[in-house]
């Protein structure tokens, strides 16, 4: 990170009082010390000076962290806009390319192979889960990437590509969804508007929380799979990994279909949906709406994060080791 973006930001009232309250409480009032303890005054003075210096340093650090967080949010917003623009451009380019080569082409690249297999069920396909609107303070971020990139885009999981098989690469896209769930809710259920049937659960090596495996139960032919696991870092965050695309329209909004209770978290989908050729025009028409939605979401996420004392603590601990103390 360069310094400029940090210094450009000046005020953000986050209440990041890093260590300040305890320092204050630990130090007796200066005047009292000076009056009552003459013989120790010089020693106490030193302590007070040290504490004041520490206080100033912590205050400065507090301000710096606030600035960094603000800049981070601003940069995130900016990058999100750029990424969506690039994805739209790339999709448009792919659209043109596939249109020019899809008929009668013999030298099929891997990506074209996938596109062809996808085309079998392209009609009526819904590219990404129609995630339900979030409740207040609940958010999720989804990243749509190619399968081999997917493992590296997660903040919560280490890059681990050894399990990426050839047929996985050939398979359809992978997207990740981060859902802020109630910590007291132990279920691994992410409400995303589709019906899922759990077919397995496993405890993985890198995370003590079990990982649940789901298949789409709405359409038997639908090959979409979903893995849900709590983040190892933050147990309140559910990480849902979607593997593939639904080949059917989303089910009508169910109020607990089948009568079964559906626990879990409300989510909010942030990412641009993976756009297929046939849906490209529709997508472009709604790009303006999506940009506006993303802006709102970024603001909502920032508000959520800044309200969360746990996030502040984690941010402070994460950054404290990286900021050189004078």
Partner DNA sequence: CGTTTTTGACCAGCGC
Partner DNA sequence: GCGCTGGTCAAAAACG
Binding mask 156-175 for DNA (x = CB under 7 A): ------xx-x----------
Q: How far is the CB of 270 from DNA (least distance, A)?
A: 23
Question: Which residue among 202, 282, 295, 307 contacts DNA (CB under 7 A)?
Answer: 202
Of 20, 63, 112, 225, the residue at the interface with DNA (CB under 7 A) is 225
143 or 297: whose CB is closer to DNA? 143
Count H helices, E strands: the chain?
Answer: 10, 6
Which residues contact residue 94 at a Cβ distance below 8 angstroms, ignoring those fewer than 6 apart? 277
Q: Which range binds DNA by CB under 7 A, 7-15, 115-123, 210-218, 293-301?
A: 210-218
Is residue 113 a contact residue for DNA (CB under 7 A)? no
Burial class (CB within 10 angstroms; exposed 0-12, middle 13-18, buried 19+) of 92: middle
Position among 96, 204, 286, 317 found at the interface with DNA (CB under 7 A): 204
Residue 259 makes contact with DNA by CB under 7 A: yes
Q: Which of 126, 144, 172, 195 binds DNA (CB under 7 A)?
A: 195
Nearer to DNA by C-beta: 171 or 305? 171
* Residue carrying structure tokens 């849900």: 228
Cα–Cα nearest to 149, from 120, 125, 169, 126: 169
Q: Which residues contact 226 (CB under 8 A, 6 or more apart)?
A: 190, 196, 213, 214, 215, 216, 240, 241, 242, 243
Whose structure tokens read 């969506």?
84
Contact with DNA (CB under 7 A): which of 198, 232, 277, 278?
198
User: How many residues make contact with DNA (CB under 7 A)?
Assistant: 25
Q: Binding of DNA at residue 205 (CB under 7 A)?
A: yes
Q: What are the residues whose beta carbons fall under 8 Å from the beta carbon of 267, sequence distance 6 or more?
A: 131, 132, 134, 138, 139, 140, 177, 179, 190, 191, 192
- Binding segment (CB under 7 A) for DNA, from list 115-123, 127-135, 257-265, 287-295: 257-265
Binning the chain into helix, strand and coil, the percentages to the nearest 5 are: 45, 15, 40
Residues that bind DNA (CB under 7 A): 162-163, 165, 195-206, 211-213, 217, 225, 227, 258-261
């Amino acid at each position: 990170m360069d310094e400029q973006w940090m210094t450009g930001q000046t005020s953000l009232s986050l209440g990041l009082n890093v260590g300040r309250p305890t320092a204050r409480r630990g130090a007796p009032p200066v005047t009292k010390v000076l009056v009552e303890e003459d013989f120790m005054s010089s020693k106490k003075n030193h302590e007070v000076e040290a504490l004041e210096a520490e206080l100033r340093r912590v205050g400065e650090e507090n301000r710096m962290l606030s600035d960094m967080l603000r800049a981070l949010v601003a940069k995130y917003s900016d990058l999100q806009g750029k990424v969506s623009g690039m994805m739209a451009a790339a999709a448009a380019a792919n659209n043109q390319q596939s249109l020019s080569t899809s008929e009668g082409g013999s030298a099929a690249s891997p990506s074209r192979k996938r596109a062809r297999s996808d085309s079998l069920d392209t009609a009526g396909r819904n590219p990404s889960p129609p995630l339900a609107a979030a409740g207040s303070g609940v958010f999720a971020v989804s990243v749509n990437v190619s399968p081999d990139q997917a493992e590296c885009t997660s903040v919560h999981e280490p890059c681990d590509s050894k399990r990426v098989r050839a047929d996985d690469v050939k398979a359809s896209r992978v997207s990740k969804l981060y859902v802020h769930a109630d910590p007291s809710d132990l279920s691994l259920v992410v409400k995303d508007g589709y019906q899922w049937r759990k077919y397995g659960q496993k405890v993985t090596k890198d995370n003590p929380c079990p990982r649940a495996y789901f298949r789409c139960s709405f359409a038997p032919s639908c090959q979409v799979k979903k893995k849900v696991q709590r983040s190892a870092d933050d147990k309140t965050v559910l990480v849902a990994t979607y593997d593939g695309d639904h080949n059917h329209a989303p089910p009508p909004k169910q109020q607990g279909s089948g009568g079964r209770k559906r626990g879990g978290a409300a989510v909010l989908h942030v990412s641009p949906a993976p756009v297929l050729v046939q849906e490209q025009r529709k997508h472009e028409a709604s790009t303006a709406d999506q940009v506006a939605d993303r802006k709102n979401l970024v603001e909502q996420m920032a508000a959520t994060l800044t309200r969360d004392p746990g996030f502040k603590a984690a941010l402070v601990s994460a950054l404290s080791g990286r900021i050189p103390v004078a």
